[in-house]
Chain A
Amino acid sequence: MTIDAGRWAELYRLEFPRVYRALLAVLRDRDRALDALHDAFVAGLRRPPAHDADLAGWLFVVAVRSARRGVRLPSFSLERVRGRSGEGDIDALLDRMEVGRLLAGLTERQRAMVVAQFYLGLDHREIAAHFGVKTGTVSATLAQAKARMRAEVRNAS
């Protein structure tokens, strides 16, 4: 069934919290996460996914790709100079979390796949389809990521 604009907005609103948080965990930057998700929303308006199953995975991957395309221009902010940046808060928050510490040692691509699996609940086949890679690549990437996370757990204990 084709998703029209109204339905798309409704689905986006439903999925936003989960996908935004997943992006925060991967990108560790509020502005990048929000911009990337907005881009994914606009991409969905232009060419919606074929069906509304697993929409979170679709939004997540389109947003991750969008975040990689260019680098957001920094803008001068007195608060940043004074060290009261919102981004700092997210970094600090993630650093205090077990998840943040586990993800910190991974590459952005590994983080994206780990978050897709453990937070968004996608299986290897779904992750492969969304990221446009082979299932074996997903398995290998996740195996490396888990090995790193295990090492992190060992070091912490």
Chain B
Amino acid sequence: MLPELSIERVFRRELDDLPLPPESSWVPARATVRRPVSLTAIVIAATLVLVLGAVSLVREAPDAAATGRRVTTTPLLVIPRPTCLRGGCNVYRSDAFGYGISIPGDWRVQDSSRLGFGRSDPSLLDRVEFTSRTPEEWQLLVGVRLDLIAPWDVSVEVHDRNGFAAMDWARSDGCGRNACVVGETTLSQSPAYVASWPVTSSLRMHAYYIERGDRMLILRYVTEPGSEGPHGVTEQTLEQIVGSIALN
């Protein structure tokens, strides 16, 4: 039997023992009470600018090239490797970090790296997220949080490797603490360590780690097994995007 009164007692007794984080990390000070509203407004505004910037980045290749990233809307043939997806595609190139990747024509760059850059992860040098969602859909899903990856998006991260091997990176990410499936593959003729693990009961992380000298390139996406993504995105779409990466 599981008498409800005794369960309640057990829940209260045990859960009340769980440690709290330091007060400084959660107690809203009076002086800061009003700040989150304005801060949030600033972050929303900045995110909108970011979204508009990302869209113009896709559309205006010369401007993007000036920043070290280049996006072209030329057919995939100009890039050595990738496969064209669903009949049309765009190519995103990062000259600064030495890679190119093709995304379906109806996808776009959701550059969420600038505001959240290095905030929670000092090893992070660059991060670009690719999505099939419209800016409004993405904003609704993720809000002002920039340390999230939206399910069914693909992200490319470049990190300082700090001497650690791909396997260590996978372990640090969550592989091992959770039931993790690992393997090896080749992406653009470079060996890649592949790991996949559940991040919640319904979401699963897939990550590809490629050692590039003193840097670590990580491609990742999150799926919801048994469901289809937005705008008809499937796991196969995401795999194709990952497989399209071309490394300099």
Contact = CB atoms under 8 A, between A and B. Distances in A.
Nearest to A103: B11
B18 A81 contact: no
A42 interface: yes
Contact of A21 (B16, B124, B127): B16
B40 A45 contact: yes
B78 interface: no
B201 A75 contact: no
Interface string A1-40: 0000110110011001100111011000010001101110
Contacts of A121: 8
B121 A41 contact: no
Contact of B171 (A9, A16, A81, A149): A81
B169 interface: yes
B171 A73 contact: no
B4 A118 contact: yes
B198 to A, nearest CB: 11
B203 interface: yes
Given A34-B25, A39-B143, A99-B15, A70 B202 contact: no
Contact of A73 (B20, B33, B121, B168): B121
A62 to B, nearest CB: 11
B40 A119 contact: no
Contacts of B75: none
Contacts of B141: 69-70
A17 B40 contact: no
A38 to B, nearest CB: 7
Contacts of A46: 37, 40
A134 interface: no
A126 interface: no
Contacts of A8: 33
Interface of A: 5-6, 8-9, 12-13, 16-17, 20-22, 24-25, 30, 34-35, 37-39, 41-42, 45-46, 66-78, 80-81, 85, 87-88, 90-91, 93, 97-100, 107-109, 115, 118-119, 121, 146, 149-150, 153
8 contacts: A16-B27, A20-B26, A34-B21, A71-B149, A81-B171, A115-B11, A146-B2, A150-B2
Given A73-B155, A119-B11, 5 more contacts: A72-B148, A73-B157, A74-B205, A76-B164, A149-B2
